[in-house]
Amino acid sequence: MLATTTMATAMVVVGAVTATSAPAVTAAAAAVPPNDTLAWDGYEWERLGSGGGHQGVYRTENVRVKDNGDLVITAMRHCTPGSLTGSDDPHPEPCADLSDTKYSIGRLNLFGVVPQGQDFTLKFVATMPQRHSAGARSALWANNVDQGPGVGYCGAQSTSPLGEIDVIEWYSAKPNQTTQSTHAGCITTGDGQHELSTTTTKGTEAFDPAERTTFTATKRGSTVTYRVNGVRVARHVCGTNPKPNNDFTCAEIMSRPWNVIMQTEVFKGPAGDGKFDGPSRRERFPTQRLVVHDVSITTMAAGAASADD
């Protein structure tokens, strides 16, 4: 059993974001407005308006705050023969010309919100998309990788270790299941590939996506504990599952400053019922709305995990 350590806690409120590089702008994103900032829930977020992931294009229009204060991040289908713009309306039905099919997504970044060497609890209160079809993912997560100009996420030019905490990954193909994951130790090897020096620990919990749900992850030292509505669903200890880190120690990886990310995605690839399969262009793709009601980031002095973790 790990020793219990008393820790002082303090809420962190960030007044400004220091933006790192955005993903490279693709031809499909050329007409989309650039990144901007969005003040929400006591933080100043970077809202992406360029680049994208898989087959989605980031648009600032896909991230909005409702009159009641809730944050809504969408994934949409559009039908346009040219580059996707911020004024293109959603088109849930299949496009008359399937080659005109395009998808837009939303993403917010909060950089360096957890300082070097701090432990923390990250909590999201959210409702998953109610109308959905296979091919999309909503994710509320954190990482601590540095991304300079031209450096891809965990890519061949990356020289920094990776810590990633997926507080909730929700796949539209598996709507009644949550997924929590920890990744640690993404490094660059001589052949230009990257590897994870610890494997992924996943916890799943059946839940109703229509319900307002609280997802939390607590990092203490090298231990990450995940809870859904207060119930522990997963626990990961860096370096023990199954092999130790080689180029970077767990202490180096897990003590770096952390960034917080909220986003939607649309996968690319053959259509199917697998969670990473893309949507069928011949079937309806309703606008998928991830609703985030609250985010809180509580930092604390570094220490060992408690017995409760």
238 in any annotated domain: yes
Chain position carrying tokens 């839940």: 207
CA-CA distance, 301 to 221, in Å (whole number)?
Answer: 10
pLDDT of residue 25: 34
123 in any annotated domain: yes
Domain at 222, CATH number = 2.60.120.200
Residue 221 lies in domain? 116-256
Which residues, given as ranges, of the chain have pLDDT below 50? Answer: 1-31, 149-150, 190-199, 244-245
165 in any annotated domain: yes
76 in any annotated domain: no
DSSP track, 151-189: --TT-TT--S--EEEEEEEEETTSTTB-EEEEEEEEEE-
Domain count, the chain: 1
* pLDDT digits 0-9 by tens, 125-155: 999 999 888 999 999 999 987 655 445 555 5
3-class DSSP assignment, residue 253: helix
79 in any annotated domain: no
218 in any annotated domain: yes
Two structure tokens written together for 262: 């909220």
294 in any annotated domain: no
CA-CA distance, 118 to 188, in Å (whole number)?
Answer: 26
CA-CA distance, 308 to 299, in Å (whole number)?
Answer: 18
The answer to whether residues 110 and 197 touch, using CB atoms and an 8 Å cutoff, is: no
212 in any annotated domain: yes
* pLDDT digits 0-9 by tens, 146-193: 655 445 555 555 556 678 899 999 999 888 888 888 877 655 554 434
